[in-house]
């Protein structure tokens, strides 16, 4: 009945020849309506922002139509100026302006949490609490999201995990392999994601680690040690030292054989495919080849040692220029 009353009121205004008055201006303004703000406070805020001209008309319209108790908080894209009844109705509809947030491939959960908080979407601490309680590291799909401001951390994490299930789980199921479980595939994919800077090398890097697992060799993957050191701060430590490689942690793949306990970041779909479909190569080692992110791969330790020495000479030569 109230919706009908609002419709009749607007029709009456139109019939009274105020159609032009109801048309909003052309300047779009992003306005944040805080949670808990009543109709009077909302009207004052809109007046201050230049959205409406009359606080009284906003309050009268909201009271007569009952929307004064149903104004929804959030970020709204409104036009300046705007008729008070139209502004009240927009806030009642709750068509909140979403915030775009980009989650890059290779972000660990703490990095995701901090970016969400910096964007005003949710609490970093609460997001991390939920992620840890539900073991969601690596299972939050990296992509571009549109979220409302001030969402519960659980809702945000659930949306990101739902995207993971929509995109990654079908790829895992269609692979038809039985060597690795889904968590193991995601763990391997997360290491590949952090190691590879050139997408074409992902299947080859995956082959190296798979070959090492088959031979029961330690993975000796720097990113797992970096994650061990930075999972609580969101930092990937550059320039690992020998002391770091001696630390006792299941994520230290220099000390312990096999895969670490779980993913170290959120890998993209290409890294997941590389983990599922490694290149048919015998390589067991690789080392950086240039600043562009390419690697040199080798099968024997002797060949790898020569490649490492060659790379160090080139780095030293470049530093002297």
pLDDT digits (tens, 9 = 90+) for 44-63: 999 998 988 889 989 988 89
Residue 303 phi/psi, 5-degree rounding, is -65, -40
Q: Is residue 151 part of a domain?
A: yes
Supply the CATH number for residue 60's domain: 3.30.1490.480
Q: What is the DSSP letter of 231?
A: T
Rg of the chain over CA atoms, in angstroms? 28
Q: Is residue 242 part of a domain?
A: yes
Instruction: Give the per-residue pLDDT at 248.
Output: 94
Q: What confidence tens digit (pLDDT) does each residue in 261-293 have?
A: 999 999 999 999 999 999 999 999 999 888 788
Q: Are 141 and 112 in contact (CB under 8 A)?
A: no
Number of domains within the chain:
2
Does residue 80 sit in the same domain as residue 127? Answer: no
Instruction: Give the per-residue pLDDT at 14.
Output: 45
pTM over 0.85: no
Rounded Cα–Cα distance for residues 299 and 281 (Å): 9
Instruction: Give the per-residue pLDDT at 219.
Output: 97
Domain boundary among 61, 93, 125: 93
Instruction: Give the per-residue pLDDT at 27.
Output: 82
Domain boundary among 93, 120, 148: 93
Q: Is residue 137 part of a domain?
A: yes
Does residue 181 sit in the same domain as residue 231? Answer: yes
Does residue 125 sit in the same domain as residue 270? Answer: yes
Instruction: Give the per-residue pLDDT at 193.
Output: 98
Q: Domain range holding 170?
A: 109-283
Q: How many CB atoms lie within 10 A of CB 17?
A: 8
Does residue 64 sit in the same domain as residue 176? Answer: no
Angle between helix axes 269-276 and 182-195 (nearest 10 degrees) is: 110
Q: Can you list the residues of the chain whose pLDDT is less than 50?
A: 1, 4, 7-8, 11, 13-21
CA 51-57-59 angle, to 5 degrees, is 95
Q: Are 66 and 98 in contact (CB under 8 A)?
A: no
């Amino acid at each position: 009945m109230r919706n009908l009353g609002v419709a009749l009121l607007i029709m009456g205004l139109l019939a009274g020849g105020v159609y032009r008055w109801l048309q909003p201006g052309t300047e779009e303004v992003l306005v944040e309506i805080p949670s808990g703000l009543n109709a009077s406070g909302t009207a004052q805020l809109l007046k201050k922002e230049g959205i409406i001209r009359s606080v009284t008309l906003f309050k009268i319209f909201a009271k007569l139509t009952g929307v004064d108790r149903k104004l929804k908080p959030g970020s709204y894209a409104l036009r300046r100026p705007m008729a008070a009844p139209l502004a009240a109705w927009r806030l009642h509809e709750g068509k909140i302006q979403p915030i775009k947030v980009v989650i890059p491939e290779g972000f660990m959960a703490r990095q995701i949490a901090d970016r969400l908080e910096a964007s005003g979407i949710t609490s970093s601490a609460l997001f991390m609490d939920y992620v840890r309680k539900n073991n969601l590291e690596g299972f939050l799909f990296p992509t571009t999201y549109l979220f409302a401001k001030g969402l519960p951390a659980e809702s945000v994490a659930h949306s990101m995990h739902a995207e993971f299930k929509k995109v990654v789980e079908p790829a895992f199921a269609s692979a038809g392999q039985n060597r690795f479980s889904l968590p193991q595939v995601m763990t391997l994919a997360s290491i590949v994601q952090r190691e590879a800077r050139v997408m074409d090398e992902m299947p080859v890097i995956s082959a190296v680690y798979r070959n090492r697992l088959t031979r029961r060799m330690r993975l000796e993957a720097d990113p797992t040690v970096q994650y061990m050191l930075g999972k609580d701060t969101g930092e990937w430590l550059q320039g690992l030292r020998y002391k770091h490689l001696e630390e006792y942690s299941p994520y230290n793949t220099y000390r312990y054989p096999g895969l670490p306990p779980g993913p170290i970041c959120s890998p993209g779909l290409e890294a997941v495919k590389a983990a599922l479909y490694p290149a048919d190569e015998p390589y067991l080692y690789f080392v950086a080849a240039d600043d562009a992110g390419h690697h040199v791969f080798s099968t024997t330790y002797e060949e790898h040692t020569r490649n490492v020495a060659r790379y160090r000479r080139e780095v030293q030569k470049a530093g002297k220029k």
